[in-house]
Amino acid sequence: MVDGKTASGANTSVDWPENKGSTNWPWRQRDDPWAGQGHLVQNIDLVAFFRYVRENRVDFFHVSVESVAAAVRAEKEGRP
């Protein structure tokens, strides 16, 4: 393949939306959903973090990573 064309000359290049700056789904699934969030969960047991998420049915569309991390830390320290 040379310049998006096969040996037969067929054009195989695709003008993907991300090449145009589109942020529409499903192209966003290639983005890192945790970008910029890593510092919030440093020094937290991630198993405990995701257990808390599962058991409390956390919806990250409505709850911040920071608040879940604080709840996990409080739970570890025995605070209500």
Question: Is this model's pTM higher than 0.85 or not?
Answer: no
Residues paired with 2 in a beta bridge: 5
- pLDDT score at 77: 85
- pLDDT score at 60: 87
What confidence category does residue 31 fall into, taking pLDDT thresholds of 50, 70 and 90? low
- pLDDT score at 79: 67
Q: Which residues have a Cβ under 8 Å from the Cβ of 12 and sit 6 or more positions away? A: 1, 4, 5, 6
Give residue for tokens 């709840």: 71
Q: Which residues have a Cβ under 8 Å from the Cβ of 40 and sit 6 or more positions away? A: 65, 66, 69
- pLDDT score at 78: 80
